[in-house]
Structure 1
Amino acid sequence: MADETLDPALINTSDGPVLIVAAAKQETERSSGRHQHCRGQLFGSMRGLLTIGVDEGVWVVPTTHAIWVPPHRVHWARSHGPFHGFAVYVAEPACATLPAAPCAIRMSSLLREATLRAASWPPGPFDAPAGRLAGVILDEIGSLPADPLGLPLPRDARLLRIAQALLDDPADGRGLEEWARWAAISDRSLSRRFASETGFTFTAWRQRARLMRALEMLAEEVPVTRIALELGYSTASTFIALFRRTFGVTPALYRDRFQSAPGSEAGTR
């Protein structure tokens, strides 16, 4: 998230430098409501966890990844627990060669270090070295592979109502048939359309929503057993086993990783 001292007018114009980079540290959670601006934005963190949302989906972002949002796209953001992060605002003309849709990218060490250097630049026009480094940052944003980290949202209003209810309460244990009745849609249509519009079956999407909420709770230092029970798992061991299958590590180790120093976990190409 951007530094609170950054003038909002700077990110609502493409005048000035091609990049504006801001950094922020805080020990408490921070959020920004739905908004848009004429510059594209890259969200990332060195410590802690971010949740970024757009109309099409939601991402829970550990320090290994960053989220790109193109110009004029409505989005919102919030941090979880202690947080140290950055925002890169890209002038609209320079976004022509960058991803056209919001996406998650795996952070490279080069992108992370270049961004941190740029965050220390004084306001004003770039000198030659700064201009070259800005080009490196743009090249990295444009060339790093997208990562399917997020949770796509359905477009159908009835399905979107179900998805939003599950995001509000991932532990809701109603089955597909009950949700279909609640949203006034046939269970067969719900199943078929959910898969076609999100790329996930209804059951897989709900499981992914629960795991994304688990990541947020881990960042907030909620005990693993409490996370399991609050998200509707029958036992902590069931939750831990599913988490390990999905992320390759236990919840406790995952929490340690995204709270550790960025150099120990920075992504590479």
Structure 2
Amino acid sequence: MSGSRLAVWGDPIAHSKSPALHAAAYSVLGLDWEYERRQVSAADFPGVLDSLDRSWRGLSLTMPLKEAAFRATASRDRHADLTGAVNTLLLGSELSGFNTDVGGIIDALGEAGVTDVRSVRILGAGATAASALVAVAELGATDVDVRARRPERAAGLVELGGRLQVSVTRDALSAPSTPVDLTIATLPSGTALDTDLAERLASDGGVLFDAAYAPWPSALASVWGNGPVVSGLGMLLHQAVRQIRIFRHGDPAVELPDEPHVLAAMRAAL
């Protein structure tokens, strides 16, 4: 693991804040590493990955590459295995895959004072929803209500809930609901729900964690009333910290030297 080149790949990717976050961290850490962004489609991913030489240290992956990255890895951490998604690749003699989104959600919620939940509603049924489910299971959730435009897409989340010993139900976005401690929205950026539906979800939705952050406030956050709202920028920040731990130490749990200073510099770069 001697390379010094890193990048974030995805499609689209021009909006990514990752280069600024990583550059700020590397400056504090005194690391002479290069971190760039590159637009890579799911179809092109295997070939582009195979073209990398020994100068490369690692990759950050965003949509739609997390599942393809999972398939490419020889070894994976527990969060990646549970979710079937890899957002961090450590390059070397073999490809090691990690999912730092789970930890990023936990850290962002903890920073907002949410450290223990029992009932949760997840809006959406994609890769981020799977990370959200694992995160809330680790925060103590016992009941999770998944809402999606196409509830059949949530079948994998029901199965994952069984593995996590969490009761997971799935339903349409507009189905009647009961109060929950926390709502996690994993809908695509720019999604605007019908106002009546959004207000109904807000009325019994507890704390809102919206993975979207551009534009902010999101349409859902704008109608959440007086309930606490947590932006997805916290997840972006904290998952990046865990990525840098991996690139530096090979382990997302090993803290960086002077990590509070690193975190402050990254937060200022957002």
Whether the TM-score (by the shorter chain) exceeds 0.5 is no
TM-score (norm. length: structure 2): 0.27
Bigger Cα Rg: 1
TM-score (norm. length: structure 1): 0.27
